[in-house]
Amino acid sequence: MTAKRSVTVTVNGETRTGEAEPRMLLSDFLRDTLGLTGTHVGCEHGICGACTVHVDGEAARSCLMLAVQADGAEIETVEGLADGETLHRLQQLFSKHRALQCGFCTPGMLMTALDLVRHRPNLTEAEIRSGMAAVLCRCTGYEGIVHAVAEYASGGER
């Protein structure tokens, strides 16, 4: 154990400060220190993508970053997507296309899909499948996820 440091991040538009050992993962900092448990941890070794958040506008696996590395960063998590009581359009489409069952992969899927659509205009289904391959889902077989992302991408909302 080493001395804790103070880490300040802007999460979903709000400035938050917490203490973290230098070895603390960003995923643990978000979940345990800041109480934002919407971001899930499925492997802690960078494969499953469940922990995906946006750091300074780019998708990142929060289990592969240390909290201290995120000091000063702007972070978006699943908790920031809805507008009050109104679900984000992608969230609505996930429900419509039955893109979730247990919901454990869902936060990572949503954050990954938003990043994918923002960076790649006119996505084909093959591109969606390879882009969404960044996150594992054990429940759905991916069909609903691919359809939800396709409809979202075609809706012009970028």
Binding site for ligand FES (CB under 6 A): 41-44, 46-51, 61, 63, 100-105, 137-140
Q: Which does 38 bind (CB under 5 to 8 A by kind): ligand FES, another protein, none?
A: another protein
- Residue 134 to residues 18, 39, 54, 137, 151, Cα–Cα distance (Å): 29, 15, 14, 10, 19
Complex with another protein: residue 102 or 154, whichever CB lies closer: 102
Q: Does 52 bind another protein (CB under 8 A)?
A: no
Residue 60 CB, nearest approach to ligand FES (Å): 10
Single out the residue of 1, 15, 121, 156 in contact with another protein (rule: CB under 8 A): 1
3-state secondary structure of 40: coil
Does the footprint of another protein cover residue 33 (CB under 8 A)?
Answer: no
Write the CB contacts of 130 (distance below 8 Å, at least 6 apart in sequence). Answer: none
Tokens representing 135 are 């996150």
C-alpha 152/C-alpha 25 separation (Å) is: 31
Residue 93 CB, nearest approach to ligand FES (Å): 15
140 binds another protein (CB under 8 A): yes
Element of type H or E holding 109? helix 106-119
